[in-house]
A and B are shown apart, each in its own frame.
Chain A
Amino acid sequence: MTGRVLVGVKRVIDYAVKIRVKPDQSGVVTDGVKHSMNPFCEIAVEEAVKMKEKKLIKEVVAVSCGPQQAQETIRTALAMGADRGIHVEVTGKDYENLGPLQVAKIFAALAKKEEAQLVILGKQAIDDDCNQTGQMTAALLDWPQGTFASEVTMEGDKLKVVREIDGGLETIKINIPAVLTADLRLNTPRYATLPNIMKAKKKKIANMKPADLSVDIVSRLEVLKVEEPPQREAGMKVETVEDLVAKLKEGGTI
């Protein structure tokens, strides 16, 4: 395969930061908060770059949808080895309402436009945990999908994908072009070292808007309220099993 791979990268709040809900309960505070690339997207980029190093594909294009700061995430992907980037600009209220369906539409349009052979995404984002974008993209393109991939190998003109499923591991063979979503054990992402960040400054990032791809990003979902999970209440220690049963009966549980 000498084609092009599209890799989606998402800029999310760093996993170690404590999340705070906005006082008006419309979302979480993001202003000035430390953001980084979604860990599963890092794994996706690494897989794409590995495939390029094995000469299985020719070009890796990193794509991100979001405001100006999404360019930093694309730069990190470029520093890891992607050849060029595409920044689909979505800002303000549109960005707050951007969900998997709209992103999938954007990726489908881009895959067609760039004549990509493969679209690799992370299996889910750590901020919304949706796990939908990869699957929706495949459906919109009518391409086969290898989701939760923990191992990907090229066999002739097909892809062998080992998937992590509830029951264990499932191996499937799918045609190309295809959509893959990366799971945790697919690979260990490399670091974006400083010399590579400096080189990445010279790589191109194309700018475009969803309208340029004829994609309608109006959301069909409306977020009514965001609130913190209830405070964990203190537990109670009991001495004997009889006490336990009595307390459970008291509480109406049994």
Chain B
Amino acid sequence: MSPILLSLSAQRCIRAWSTVKTEHACPQLYTALHRRACSSVAPRITTHYTIHPREKDPRWEGVEMERFADEADVVIVGGGPAGLSAAIRLKQLANEHKKELRVCLVEKASQMGAHTLSGACLEPSAFNELIPDWKERGAPLHTPVTEDVFSILTEKHRIPVPMLPGLPMNNHGNYIVRLGNVVRWMGEQAEELGVEIYPGYAASEVLFHEDGSVKGIATNDVGIDVFERGMELHAKVTIFGEGCHGHLAKQLYKKFNLRENCEPQTYAIGLKEMWMIDEKRWRPGRVEHSVAWPLNRHTYGGSFLYHLNEGEPLVALGFVVGLDYSNPYLSPFREFQRWKHHPFVAPTLEGGHRIAYGARALNEGGFQSIPEVTFPGGLLIGCSPGFMNVPKIKGTHTAMKSGMLAAEAIFPKRSVFFPPVFEGLHVPEYSEMLKKSSIWKELHAVRNIRPSFHNYFGLYGGMVYTGIFYWILRGKEPWTLKHCGMDAHQLKPAKDCTPIDYPKPDGKISFDLLSSVALSGTNHEGDQPAHLTLRDDSVPVDRNLALFDGPEQRFCPAGVYEYVPLDTGDGMRLQINAQNCVHCKTCDIKDPSQNINWVVPEGGGGPAYNGL
């Protein structure tokens, strides 16, 4: 075809088509080619300074960019179970040995626990180690598990699966908790021990010494009209506990090449609601899990429903969908809403009302995806590197244990803290302690369960594998199965898939997206650039919408991404409603073009979960 005679848009189309074939190999190259080929102006969506630096922006000339700096011994990024465990353990050791140690913890949520979301069935092992008298101190672990039910669901029926002891999902000895309340309580314990906790301040930048080691972090700048620079917190060693798919961790992986000997992390999205139900249906201590319907056998995922026992008839229920799903028409939120109508689930919810909603991505990579966790000046703990035991669906106890090990590795090196150093402290002992710990053994034993789902029989093949190799052989098989690569590359083009016909929400058991988002209490101050940044503003319409029918409008649990018609009438544009964001990180993970880069917004913004 002679390119001279073709129209401009056809030319663009052909170039886009030919570069699609190479994009899997080198997505960066695709973007550069496309920019050169594109002669029309791409819509301006992203204004964030990580994409458009302020040094080159004339509007920022003359603005005071100097930052106040302070020194601490250890700075911890993230106030979740891992970060707080590390903080508490450090202070316990310091008080035990009668040493001074300044530990500062920054957390982007406005109060501890406000961004915490988990099922959760907590294994108290890490708690027993960290705070043995947790019961006397009033830790909110009120609901021991009394009943454990596992089902395979079909559209109208249920096949019960016996919960034999030894199966990874068995919950004997565990507690059903509201993890947000546990985190809040841990925050109080940490403050009592002398940890400086600063909720409402997000770590937005990693600072480096001249030699490339980590010097500390800087908190976010605030405002545009009324502008204030963030603050620098320097530390001898910085602990990063940002949770699943942390944004600073992403930068650290690249800078220190921490992922060169491990597989890419794979993820799932977990959506959760809390319901106040009819007392007659309330069975405190009951744990229900299900797999299969409404997902097909090739889509990993399942549900949970826990009856809490904290004085009122409260249930926590939710749905997890593996983000390696291939159908771009799949909407995890709508699968969740659809599941609630199953004849085994709906009766529990009848007569009740919903009081909370939230969503968060979680790790599924397990053992194969653990990166290097130490580097000069810092360490990674918790779900950030990813210690979740996937078949058990528990990651809190391993996250806490990793935080404690980090503290125990750092503390003996405190003699290096004086005099001030000009290079970050490297603590490789942490990595060695991890490899010798219970976390490693546990994750090694279950390493093949999740990858075993990638077979012709999908879910059922995986269950057979689990039965034989885990239940009987305890994971001692000599081979290690691989994952399938990055979740973002698993989507098939929209033309090869069938749209899913989801039922309309009935307003009593299932609900629409926007009323759910309102229930999360999420909000972001208006005077800031949108924190969902695009590396290339033209990619959403030109690639995501063209090839995959815009999957971001379906996988975002908060309705952030919308494709709306252009004012001129022809064509669509991507609208990013950044204010709705619930900080789940799914878009950063699942975007097939890996074009979306989630950066932290101003501290204090985001969801306002209450004991979720």
Q: A-side binding surface: helix, strand, loop or mixed?
A: loop
Question: When A17-B608, A191-B223 are in contact, do A34 and B110 touch as well, CB less than 8 Å?
Answer: yes
Instruction: Find chain B residues with CB under 8 A from A14 CB.
Output: 110, 521, 523, 608
Query: Of B276, B522, B610, which contacts A32 at CB under 8 A?
Result: B610
Give residues in A with beta carbon < 8 Å to B: 14-18, 20, 23, 31-34, 36, 188-191, 193-195, 197-198
Instruction: Find chain A residues with CB under 8 A from B230 CB.
Output: 193-194
Please tell me if the beta carbons of B226 and A194 are within 8 angstroms of each other in the complex.
no
Instruction: Find chain B residues with CB under 8 A from A34 CB.
Output: 110-111, 114, 521, 608, 610
Complex interface residues of chain B between 52 and 74 (CB less than 8 A to chain A): 68, 70
Instruction: Find chain A residues with CB under 8 A from B608 CB.
Output: 14, 16-17, 33-34
Instruction: Find chain B residues with CB under 8 A from A188 CB.
Output: 225-226
Instruction: Find chain B residues with CB under 8 A from A32 CB.
Output: 113, 180-181, 184, 610-611
A188–B521 CA distance with the chains assembled, in angstroms = 24
- The answer to whether B355 has its CB under 8 Å from any CB of chain A is yes
Query: Of A16, A31, A194, which contacts B521 at CB under 8 A?
Result: A16
Please, could you name 9 A-B residue pairs with CB atoms under 8 Å apart, sorted by A?
A14-B521, A33-B610, A34-B110, A190-B228, A193-B228, A194-B106, A194-B230, A198-B70, A198-B196
- Closest CB-CB distance, A90 to chain B, in whole Å? 21
Instruction: Find chain A residues with CB under 8 A from B519 CB.
Output: 18
Q: Mark B101-138, 1 if CB is under 8 A from A, else 0.
A: 00000100011011000000000000000000000000
- The answer to whether B231 has its CB under 8 Å from any CB of chain A is yes
Give residues in B with beta carbon < 8 Å to A: 68, 70, 106, 110-111, 113-114, 180-181, 184, 196, 198, 201, 219, 222-223, 225-226, 228, 230-231, 276, 312, 355, 518-519, 521-523, 608, 610-611
Q: A15-B523, A16-B521, A198-B70 are in contact. List 18 more A-B contacts (CB 8 A).
A: A14-B110, A14-B523, A14-B608, A16-B523, A16-B608, A17-B521, A18-B521, A23-B276, A32-B113, A32-B180, A34-B111, A34-B114, A189-B226, A193-B230, A194-B198, A194-B219, A194-B230, A197-B201
Please tell me if the beta carbons of B226 and A195 are within 8 angstroms of each other in the complex.
no
A188–B227 CA distance with the chains assembled, in angstroms = 11
- Closest CB-CB distance, A228 to chain B, in whole Å? 11
A18–B181 CA distance with the chains assembled, in angstroms = 18
Please tell me if the beta carbons of B114 and A16 are within 8 angstroms of each other in the complex.
no
Instruction: Find chain B residues with CB under 8 A from A36 CB.
Output: 110
- By beta carbon, the residue of chain B nearest A187 is B226
Instruction: Find chain A residues with CB under 8 A from B184 CB.
Output: 32
A31–B178 CA distance with the chains assembled, in angstroms = 14
Question: When A188-B225, A194-B230 are in contact, do A16 and B522 touch as well, CB less than 8 Å?
Answer: yes
- By beta carbon, the residue of chain B nearest A198 is B70
Please tell me if the beta carbons of A193 and B355 are within 8 angstroms of each other in the complex.
no
- By beta carbon, the residue of chain A nearest B602 is A191
- By beta carbon, the residue of chain A nearest B110 is A34
- Closest CB-CB distance, A189 to chain B, in whole Å? 8
- Closest CB-CB distance, A200 to chain B, in whole Å? 12
A20–B225 CA distance with the chains assembled, in angstroms = 34
Query: Of B106, B196, B222, B518, which contacts A18 at CB under 8 A?
Result: B518
Instruction: Find chain A residues with CB under 8 A from B226 CB.
Output: 188-191
- Closest CB-CB distance, B247 to chain A, in whole Å? 19
A17–B520 CA distance with the chains assembled, in angstroms = 8
- By beta carbon, the residue of chain B nearest A69 is B111
- By beta carbon, the residue of chain A nearest B222 is A191
A193–B67 CA distance with the chains assembled, in angstroms = 11
- By beta carbon, the residue of chain B nearest A36 is B110
Question: When A14-B521, A16-B522, A190-B228 are in contact, do A195 and B610 touch as well, CB less than 8 Å?
Answer: no
- Closest CB-CB distance, A55 to chain B, in whole Å? 22
Please tell me if the beta carbons of B222 and A193 are within 8 angstroms of each other in the complex.
yes
- Closest CB-CB distance, A184 to chain B, in whole Å? 15
A20–B521 CA distance with the chains assembled, in angstroms = 12
Top 8 A-B pairs, shortest CB-CB distance:
A16-B523, A34-B608, A17-B521, A195-B68, A194-B231, A32-B610, A191-B222, A191-B228
A193–B229 CA distance with the chains assembled, in angstroms = 8
Instruction: Find chain A residues with CB under 8 A from B196 CB.
Output: 198
A36–B610 CA distance with the chains assembled, in angstroms = 14
- By beta carbon, the residue of chain B nearest A16 is B523
A114–B127 CA distance with the chains assembled, in angstroms = 48
| Among A20, A188, A193, residue most surrounded by chain B Cβ atoms (within 10 Å) | A193
Please tell me if the beta carbons of B355 and A20 are within 8 angstroms of each other in the complex.
yes
- By beta carbon, the residue of chain B nearest A197 is B198
- Closest CB-CB distance, A21 to chain B, in whole Å? 11
- By beta carbon, the residue of chain B nearest A189 is B226
- By beta carbon, the residue of chain A nearest B605 is A16
- Closest CB-CB distance, A131 to chain B, in whole Å? 24
- By beta carbon, the residue of chain A nearest B523 is A16
Instruction: Find chain B residues with CB under 8 A from A33 CB.
Output: 608, 610
Instruction: Find chain A residues with CB under 8 A from B312 CB.
Output: 23
- Closest CB-CB distance, B203 to chain A, in whole Å? 11
| Among B222, B312, B522, residue most surrounded by chain A Cβ atoms (within 10 Å) | B222
- Closest CB-CB distance, B235 to chain A, in whole Å? 14
Instruction: Find chain B residues with CB under 8 A from A191 CB.
Output: 222-223, 226, 228
Instruction: Find chain A residues with CB under 8 A from B522 CB.
Output: 16
Instruction: Find chain A residues with CB under 8 A from B521 CB.
Output: 14, 16-18, 34
Instruction: Find chain B residues with CB under 8 A from A193 CB.
Output: 222, 228, 230-231
Instruction: Find chain B residues with CB under 8 A from A18 CB.
Output: 518-519, 521
- By beta carbon, the residue of chain B nearest A34 is B608
- By beta carbon, the residue of chain A nearest B579 is A16
- By beta carbon, the residue of chain A nearest B608 is A34
- Closest CB-CB distance, A123 to chain B, in whole Å? 21
A33–B113 CA distance with the chains assembled, in angstroms = 10
A130–B59 CA distance with the chains assembled, in angstroms = 42
- Closest CB-CB distance, A22 to chain B, in whole Å? 10
| Among B113, B198, B608, residue most surrounded by chain A Cβ atoms (within 10 Å) | B608
A32–B179 CA distance with the chains assembled, in angstroms = 13
A232–B40 CA distance with the chains assembled, in angstroms = 46
- Closest CB-CB distance, B598 to chain A, in whole Å? 20
- Closest CB-CB distance, A32 to chain B, in whole Å? 4
A198–B201 CA distance with the chains assembled, in angstroms = 12
A206–B521 CA distance with the chains assembled, in angstroms = 33
- By beta carbon, the residue of chain A nearest B521 is A17
- By beta carbon, the residue of chain B nearest A31 is B610
Instruction: Find chain A residues with CB under 8 A from B231 CB.
Output: 193-195
- Closest CB-CB distance, B611 to chain A, in whole Å? 5
